[in-house]
């Protein structure tokens, strides 16, 4: 294989490896796996196009001001009314997985404007936004309606194969 062919193969491989990263942010027919917080449950399969249709193309209902549209929440307008479109509208670009980590608290201490009470961590942001809308629209709201519990979750919650066996002294009838 010549040098030129080797470079072409290398470039093709690089593009192939990067394709999933690009597709993960595409809004055209994509179903995302929201799994950055998966621990006791599987990630959530999220049909982006179905949700776009459900909110009638009003991206700011979910993405707040990151879509370049004015925020819907009155608490956000004073600071974010003229915010440009964000580099990434993904929830985890603003809402942190570990908002109370020592590294993040150090950053907040240096610039208190980066944190405010209305900016929850990623898990709370997902649950507040998703479940709030689901309660209004009749969507799923139970834990296992969206998340399948994994073995680690069964062990943690003493359920499934880890559930106490009925019998003497277990408190079951």
What is the predicted pLDDT for the residue at 84? 78
Q: State which H helix or E strand residue 78 sits in.
A: helix 77-80
70 falls within a domain = yes
143 falls within a domain = yes
Residues of the chain short of pLDDT 70, as ranges, are 1-29, 65, 114-118, 168-173
31: exposed, middle or buried (Cβ count in 10 Å: 0-12, 13-18, 19+): exposed
88 falls within a domain = yes
Domain range spanning residue 115? 11-162
What is the predicted pLDDT for the residue at 83? 76
172 falls within a domain = no
How many separate domains does the chain show?
1
- DSSP designation for 41: B
170 falls within a domain = no
Q: Identify which of 118, 126, 166 has the alpha carbon closest to the alpha carbon of residue 46.
A: 126
CATH number, domain of 46, equals 3.90.10.10
- DSSP designation for 56: T
151 falls within a domain = yes
Give this prediction's pTM. 0.64
2 falls within a domain = no
67 falls within a domain = yes
């Amino acid at each position: 294989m010549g040098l030129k062919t080797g470079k072409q193969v290398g470039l093709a491989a690089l593009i192939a490896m990067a394709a999933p990263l690009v597709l993960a942010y595409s809004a055209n027919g994509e179903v995302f796996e929201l799994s950055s917080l998966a621990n006791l449950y599987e990630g959530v399969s999220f049909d982006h196009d179905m949700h776009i249709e459900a909110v009638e193309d009003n991206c700011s209902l979910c993405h707040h001001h990151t879509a370049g549209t004015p925020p819907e929440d009155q608490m956000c307008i004073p600071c974010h009314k003229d915010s440009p479109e964000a580099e990434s509208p993904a929830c985890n670009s603003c809402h942190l997985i570990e908002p109370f980590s020592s590294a993040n608290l150090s950053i907040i201490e240096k610039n208190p404007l980066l944190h405010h009470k209305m900016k929850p961590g990623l898990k709370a942001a997902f649950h507040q936004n998703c479940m709030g809308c689901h309660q209004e629209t009749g969507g799923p709201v139970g834990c296992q309606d969206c998340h399948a519990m994994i073995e680690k979750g069964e062990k943690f919650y003493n359920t499934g194969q880890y559930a106490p066996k009925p019998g003497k002294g277990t408190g079951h009838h």
